[in-house]
Amino acid sequence: MHVLGVLDCGTDDDGLERAVDQLVDRLSARGRVGVVRYDATIADGTAALRNAGVTPGGDVTYDLGVDGDWTACGTGYAVGDALEDLAIDCAFAVVVGAPSIRAPVVAVGPDAQTRVETDEPAGPVLATAATPSAFEYDAVVDALLETEPYETLESLVARVKDSPAADRSGAIATFTGRVRAKDADDDARTEYLEFEKYEGVADERMAALKADLEARDGVYAVELHHRTGVVRDGEDIVFVVVLAGHREEAFRTVEDGINRLKDEVPLFKKEVTVDEEFWVHHRS
């Protein structure tokens, strides 16, 4: 799923909604779209944002309050929680009104350019526009499709379950790699890792590895995903998911998959601890 943040930079409510509607309309032509709305003015969960469910066969809208709570029931549903759910069924998510989202963003309003220059959003800025009509919406969609998708273990498992060979499978095995805070009690705590990929090579090698693993006897589908950019302490970094006929080939292929991914796919890792930062390959 590709995630796009929409930042309101001084436009009126009607203008913001026109921009969101245009984006959702373009994206809907390519796949199902989920919309997450975050309203930082709602603190007590009693205001009128009520659409917090799923319309069968339609797109999904979550309305969130100031602390990321559902305004209808206050059960503590954050933007990240909504994205995890949407990633299973949606090709795209549009997040409106969450300024700190770590995803590609567009900014709309008379203060758009100044806002992105001074506030420096956490994700890449795909476009800015003073008015909704100034956006080149098709160009925004094209740029979004070039960015890294948002994946979870659950979304990848759901994908392999959709394999045409799923009815021949008796096993799904997975591996999740995550950011380890420290190896020992006296280690300096790792705050985050930052990954960069060798553009034009990493994706080709990942695709070749996936094809090679799927060519094995008894293996029906493989999904591999490695995040790039900043990944914080405790967050997931990499997933390997294998759909196979039996557990033996599933386990073996997961192990080979993560080992070969680390050996064959050119990804560069910077570690930032409370004491220092360094590129790991410079110390190996």
141 plus 158 within the same structural domain? no
Same-domain status, 29 and 89: yes
List phi, psi (to 5°) of 88. Answer: -75, -35
Looking at residue 220, its pLDDT comes to 98
Three-class DSSP category at 269: strand
Q: How confident is the model at residue 119 (pLDDT cuts 50, 70, 90)?
A: confident
* For the chain, percent of residues with pLDDT exceeding 90: 60
Q: What one-character DSSP code corresponds to residue 107?
A: E
Q: Are residues 11 and 108 in the same domain?
A: yes
> Where residue 269 falls among pLDDT bands split at 50, 70, 90?
very high
In terms of DSSP bridges, do strands 171-178 and 105-108 run parallel, antiparallel, or are they unpaired? unpaired
- Give the whole-number percent of the chain exceeding pLDDT 70: 85
Region 177-189 average pLDDT: 89
Give the pLDDT of residue 75.
Answer: 41
In 3-state terms the chain splits into helix, strand, coil percentages (rounded to 5) of 35, 30, 40
Q: Mean pLDDT, the chain, as a whole number?
A: 85
Residue 73 — pLDDT band, cuts 50, 70, 90? very low
Based on the domain organization, do 217 and 253 belong to the same domain? yes
Indicate the residue among 106, 125, 145 that finishes a domain. Answer: 145
In eight-state DSSP terms, residue 201 is: T
Residue 6 sits in a domain whose CATH number is: 3.40.50
Residue type, 39: D
Please count the other Cβ atoms lying within 10 Å of the Cβ belonging to residue 262: 12
Among the candidates 96, 119, 145, a domain finishes at 145
Domain ranges, residue 182: 153-282
Other CB atoms within 10 Å distance of the CB of residue 54: 15
Check if the beta carbon of residue 228 is closer than 8 Å to that of residue 165: no
In this structure, the answer to whether residues 103 and 180 fall within a common structural domain is no
Give the integer Cα–Cα distance in Å for 41 and 66: 6
Distance CA 6, CA 87 (A): 18
pLDDT at 45: 39
Q: What pLDDT score was predicted for residue 72?
A: 37
| CB-CB contact of 105 with 6 (8 Å) | yes
Residue 66: pLDDT over 60: no
Q: What is the CATH number of the domain that holds 272?
A: 3.90.1170.40
Query: Exposure of 263 by Cβ count < 10 A (0-12 exposed, 13-18 middle, 19+ buried)?
Result: exposed
Report pLDDT digits (tens) over 201-221.
999 999 999 999 999 999 999
Query: Which of 116, 145, 174 lies at the terminal end of a domain, its last residue?
Result: 145
CA distance 231 to 220: 30
For residue 61, the model assigns a pLDDT of 64
Domain check: are 102 and 197 in the same one? Answer: no
Same domain, 261 and 126: no
